[in-house]
Amino acid sequence: MGPAEAQLSPAADGLDAAERAALEARGLRLDGGRRAVTVRVGDTLAGTAIWQPLAFESAELGIAAARIETIEAWQGAAPVLEDLAARAVSDMKDAGVALATCRLPEARLGAINALEAVGFRMVECLLTLARPLDGAPKMPAGIGLAETDEGEDCARLAGRCFTADRFHIDPRIANSAADRLKESWIRNSAAGRADAMLVARQDGRVVGFNACMRNGPTAVIDLIGVAPEAQGRGHGRALVEGALAHYAASGAEEMVVGTQSGNIASLALYQSCGFFIRSSQFTLHAHLGENR
Ligand SMILES: CC(C)(COP(=O)(O)OP(=O)(O)OC[C@H]1O[C@@H](n2cnc3c(N)ncnc32)[C@H](O)[C@@H]1OP(=O)(O)O)[C@@H](O)C(=O)NCCC(=O)NCCS
């Protein structure tokens, strides 16, 4: 399926006005193309699963992708979760979704098991690390904000340095598609999605990038990469220290980053730069168009 065919146009969901109001009263969002499935126990609303099409992933991977954002049971936990997982999958299949994703804290084992029972498989354990910006290092030599004409260098680099993320790890997704997604991601970052794009230069050439976002007092390392041939020479550390220096100077209070538990190089890097593990989540994928 090509990117143009991967767009979803889900029909309106079957919620009645009272159910919609009940979900919204729980603070659950139903806008932005989201669709909800619900389960009742007797007359009582017992839980919901809410999913949303993912436009960027769909366009870049060339398959219709969506994410289950919420799967919650308020009554009769295990059977309700199993029912919700089955209904969400059926609804996504009807809408033409080919790749479904869900990310849940490790402690949500009941929901994880319910998703596994309908074909989801774990693809990564995502660790979130954080550190306060007190005592941040100085801006290292060789690190600076990307010039406008360096955005494309960063994008090309991003298209060849990732191996551990959920798209590259999933054997059912072609590495070429996963590379293309990372390349587009950084192209978008350079075009304004990122709050700051730091680069490492060697002999006047970009050898690494660190695309960061800002959310109030929190700065986030969104995506960082060093050219494979330049790894192990201190550029990654300099890029992280550069981000710490940049955001300490601009008044942010903490820096946050996510990485896979199997990405030993980046975990070692963040921990040696003063980050500590804050939380862990499992990411699951289901390829809905395939026989399992
Ligand atoms: C993670 C990455 C950015 C590190 O960049 P780098 O330039 O190779 O790292 P550095 O040379 O600055 O090393 C810094 C520290 O990282 C750790 N590290 C780097 N490579 C490592 C490896 N292969 N194994 C274990 N630790 C490693 C070490 O703690 C090292 O500290 P040291 O200087 O005391 O040896 C780089 O490996 C990369 O681009 N990986 C692919 C993209 C990616 O996975 N990005 C992270 C997404 S969250």
160 lines ligand 1 (CB under 6 A): no
227 lines ligand 1 (CB under 6 A): no
> Distance between CA atoms of 189 and 146, rounded to whole angstroms?
11
Q: What percent of the chain has pLDDT over 70?
A: 95
Residue 40 C-alpha to ligand 1 middle, in angstroms? 49
96 lines ligand 1 (CB under 6 A): no
pLDDT surpassing 80 at residue 184: yes
Burial of 9 (0-12, 13-18, 19+ CB in 10 A): exposed
**Per-residue model confidence as pLDDT tens digits over 202-219:** 999 999 999 999 999 999
164 lines ligand 1 (CB under 6 A): yes
Report yes or no: 131 and 274 within 8 Å, Cβ to Cβ. Answer: yes
Q: Specify the DSSP class assigned to residue 6.
A: G
User: What pTM value is reported for the model?
Assistant: 0.92
Select 130-280's CATH number: 1.10.10.10, 3.40.630.30, 3.20.20.140, 3.90.550.10: 3.40.630.30
CA torsion through residues 25, 27, 30, 34, sign: negative
> Distance between CA atoms of 183 and 177, rounded to whole angstroms?
10
Smallest CA separation from ligand 1 atom 26, residue: 265
Location of structure tokens 């870049």: 60
What integer is the mean pLDDT of 150-168?
Answer: 97
Tell me the HSE value of 211 on the side-chain side, using a 13 A CA sphere. 22
The pair of structure tokens assigned to 148 is: 């406008």
pLDDT surpassing 90 at residue 290: no
Strand 218-226 to strand 254-260: parallel, antiparallel, or no bridges (unpaired)? parallel
151 lines ligand 1 (CB under 6 A): no
**Per-residue model confidence as pLDDT tens digits over 21-69:** 999 999 999 999 999 999 999 989 999 999 999 999 999 999 999 999 9
The pair of structure tokens assigned to 159 is: 């298209």
pLDDT surpassing 70 at residue 291: no
The pair of structure tokens assigned to 187 is: 């192209």
pLDDT surpassing 50 at residue 173: yes
pLDDT surpassing 80 at residue 13: no
- The answer to whether domain 3-119 has CATH 3.40.630.30 is yes
For the beta carbon of residue 100, count every other beta carbon within 10 angstroms: 25
Residue 61 C-alpha to ligand 1 middle, in angstroms? 27
What integer is the mean pLDDT of 252-280?
Answer: 97
> Distance between CA atoms of 199 and 216, rounded to whole angstroms?
23
**Within this chain, domains 3-119 and 130-280 share the same CATH topology:** yes
Q: What's the mean per-residue pLDDT of the chain?
A: 94
**Per-residue model confidence as pLDDT tens digits over 106-144:** 999 999 999 999 999 999 999 999 999 999 999 999 999
Instruction: Give residue limits of the domains in the chain.
Output: 3-119, 130-280
**Which pLDDT belongs to residue 16?**
86
Residue 231 C-alpha to ligand 1 middle, in angstroms? 7
